[in-house]
Amino acid sequence: MTRPGPEPQWGTSGNAMVPRMRLLLVEDNPTMQATLQRALSRRGLEVTAVGDGLAALAQWRARPPDAVVLDLSLPGLDGLEVLQEARRSGLRTPVLILTARGTVGDRVLGLNAGADDYLPKPFDLDELEARLRALLRRSAETSPLKMPSSTIETGAIRYEKESGAIYLRGEVMEFTPRELALMHALLAQPGHAVAKERLYELVFPGQLDVQYEAVEVVVYRLRKKLAGTGLTLMTLRGLGYLLKAEA
C-alpha cells in the first residue's frame, strides 16, 4: 500500500458526499485495520472497524452503514459468506471488496455475490477513497429505497423500505442480488415504467463489460418468481418495464 499525500476532506456540496458518512471496515489484519481506520477517519468518514465475519454481520445489522469495505479472508465467516448472508437478509449497503485475492475468478465471485466494486491489495489510499466516493455518490443518486413511505404493498407483495426485504403473504421472498436490485427499482415506482437504462445502472453498477440485454435475463427470471403473486412484470417497448397489479 503506497503512502498517500495530503488527506483532503470529503466534499460537502452538490452531489458529493456530506461529512461523517458511516463506513463499516471489515479487515482482520490489525495493522491494516488500524491504518485504514485512521486514514479514512482523517478524510472525513465515521469508521467502525471489525475483524471477523460474524462481528461484521452483527454490526451491519445493528447499525447499517452507508458503505462497507470488506476483506474476503476473514475468521468466523469468509467475506463472501458475509456478503451473501447480508444480501439474503435484505441489506443493500454498497460494498467494496478489499482483498489479496486478485484473480479474475475471485473478482467475479465477489461481484456475483452482490459486491458493488473490487479493489485488490496492495492498493493506493487515494484510489480507495475515490472508489468509495463513487459508490456512495451513485447510491445517493440512484437508490430506489428513497421513498416517501416505509412500506409499499402491491398485489400480494409487501416491500419494507428500511430492511429492503420483500414479503409474499408474510414470507420473505428469495431473490438473487441482481433480482432484488431490479425488484427494488420497480417497487419504488409501482405502476410506472422504469427505463431499461436505469435498471441496468442499478442491477449492474460499474460493470461496463455487461451488455444492456443482460437486464432481460434478470427480468425473465423474475417473471417466473412472480407467478401467483398478483403482479405482472410488463415490457413496454420504448419505455422500459413496470410492475402491474393484476385485476
Q: What backbone torsions phi and psi does residue 89 show, to the nearest 5 degrees?
A: -90, 5
**pTM (2 decimals)?**
0.52
49 pLDDT higher than 90: yes
Residues of the chain with CATH 1.10.10.10: 151-245
Please provide the average confidence, as pLDDT, over all residues in the chain. 79
pLDDT, residue 103, reads 58
Average pLDDT over residues 199-217: 82
Q: Which residues lie below 8 Å from residue 68, measured CB to CB, with a gap of 6+?
A: 23, 24, 25, 26, 56, 60, 93, 94, 95, 96
More confident residue, 134 or 10: 134
pLDDT digits (tens, 9 = 90+) for 63-115: 888 899 999 888 888 888 999 888 888 888 899 988 775 556 666 777 777 88
pLDDT, residue 70, reads 93
Residues of the chain with CATH 3.40.50.2300: 21-142
Q: How far apart are CA 239 and CA 235, in angstroms?
A: 8
pLDDT, residue 19, reads 42
- Tell me what percent of the residues of the chain surpass a pLDDT of 70: 82
Q: Which CATH class is domain 21-142?
A: alpha beta
Give residue 116's identity as a one-letter amino acid code.
D
Q: Which CATH class is domain 151-245?
A: mainly alpha
